Amino acid sequence: MFQITFLDLFIRTYHKIGIRTLDQNYGFPESHLPGRMVEEIKAIYKVDTWPDFFAKVQFGKVFSKESFTGMLRDAVAKSRDRRYHIPARPSDMNRLRLLRRELERARAEAVARKSRDI
């Protein structure tokens, strides 16, 4: 999202005023660009849904739940077929559940300690 946003802002700015402006500014951006980029980054941090993500990366296709789920399933199948990952065994899943519980307990203890310290 950052790269697309950066390039889009760069192109919109320098398409209008010309790339030679960068040479005239010794490579420094136009004065409004850093502030505008900060605002864009804040907007990126607020993205919390797939539709918002696809809009931010300017992906023109609109997905239904079914087509999006299908795309994700196809991606996982392709990853498996290319051996990018190995499906977890049931024993691994039990180990992961134990680790997850330990992590949740440690987080809860940290929150409790922090609230006591305040």
List of the chain residues with pLDDT < 70? 88, 118
Q: What's the pTM?
A: 0.53
Cβ(2)–Cβ(41) below 8 Å: yes
**pLDDT digits over 11-22, tens only?**
888 787 777 777
Instruction: Kindly tell me the sign of the dihedral angle through the C-alpha atoms of 6, 12, 15, 16.
Output: negative
